[in-house]
Structure 1
C-alpha cells in the first residue's frame, strides 16, 4: 500500500481522539470534576465546561477529517483531508499542552509532546 505510514498515523489519531471525545461526552460530570481539580487555583478553573466543549468539538472535527482522509487516500490518492485533520490535531495538542503548563503538570505536558511529534511527522508526510 502506497500510504501505509500516513494511514497508520491517521488511525492512531482517530483512536486517540475518538476515545477521548466519547469519554468526555459520556462521563461529562466526572470530566468536569477531574479538570476542575486539575486546574484548581488557576484562572482556568472557572472555564472548564466551555473549554471541554471546545476540545470535544475539535476532537470530533479531527476524527471526521481523518476518517475522510483515510478514505480519500485509499480511493483517490488525495491527502488533503488527512493533512487538515492532522493540522487540527496539532493545534489542539498545542492548546492542551498550554493547559498542562498552566496547571503546572509538566509531566502531562511532556506526554502531550509525544503525540505532538507524531502529529507533526504525519503533517510532514502529508505534504
Structure 2
C-alpha cells in the first residue's frame, strides 16, 4: 500500500498515458481505413503526403508500445516500487506526442498542435517525476 500512497502522482499520470495511448492505438487498428483516409486528406498538401501509411504505422507502433510500457510500469510501481519501465513508457509517450505535434505543425493545423500540448505537459512532468 505504501507504493500507492508514495507514488500517487506517478500512478495517476501512468494511468492517464495508458488510457490515452492504448485507446488511440486500438482505434487506429480498428479503424485503419478511416484514419488513413482522413490523414491522407490532412497531409495532402504537405511534404509528408506520400508517407502517410508508413507514418501512421510508425505512430501506431509507438503509441501501442508506450501504452504497454506505461501499463507494465504502473504494475511494477505498485508491486515493487520499481520505476524503470514506467520511465521508458513516459519517455516514449513524449516521443509519440512529439511525432504527432510535428505532423500537426507540418499540416499547419495549429489548433490540433495546441491540443497535443495538453497531453505533452503531463507526460513530460511524469518523466521529471520518474527520473532517478
TM score, norm. by length of structure 2: 0.93
Residue 13 (str. 1) matches residue 39 (str. 2): no
**Counterpart in 2 of 1:72?**
76
| Cα-to-partner distance string for 1:30-57 (whole Å, 9 max, x where unaligned) | 0011001111111111111111111111
**Structure 1 consecutive aligned stretches of length 4 or more whose deviation exceeds 6 Å:** none
Mind listing any 5+ residue stretches in structure 1 that lack a counterpart?
A: none
Q: Which residues in structure 2 correspond to 1:46-85 (within 5 Å)?
A: 46-85=50-89
**Counterpart in 1 of 2:99?**
95
- TM-superposed deviation, 1:2: 1.3
TM score, norm. by length of structure 1: 0.97
Distance 1:32 1:15 in 2: 22
Corresponding residue SS for 1:43: coil
Pick from 25, 29, 40: which aligns with 1:36? 40
Mind listing any 5+ residue stretches in structure 2 that lack a counterpart?
A: none
Corresponding residue SS for 2:28: helix
Distance 1:71 1:19 in 2: 18
Root-mean-square deviation (Å): 0.8
- TM-superposed deviation, 1:99: 0.6
| Cα-to-partner distance string for 1:77-127 (whole Å, 9 max, x where unaligned) | 111111110000111111110110000000111110111111000111112
